[in-house]
Amino acid sequence: MRAYRLTYPLIAICVLGCTSAPQKPANGDALPECGIFSNCVNSELSAGGKTIAPLEATEQQWIELKQWIASQEDWTITTDAGDFVQAVVKTPLMRFRDDVQLRFEKDTGVIHVRSSSRLGISDMGTNRRRVEMLRSQL
Check whether 100 has a pLDDT greater than 90. yes
Residue 11 sits in a domain whose CATH number is 3.30.310
- Per the structure, the complete domain to which residue 41 belongs is given by 2-137
Percent of the chain at pLDDT exceeding 70: 86
pTM above threshold 0.85: no
Number of domains in the chain: 1
35 three-class SS:
coil
pLDDT one-digit tens code per residue, 16-58: 455 667 777 777 789 999 988 889 999 999 888 899 999 999 9
Gap between the Cα atoms of 21 and 59, Å rounded: 27
Question: How confident is the model at residue 2, as a pLDDT?
Answer: 64
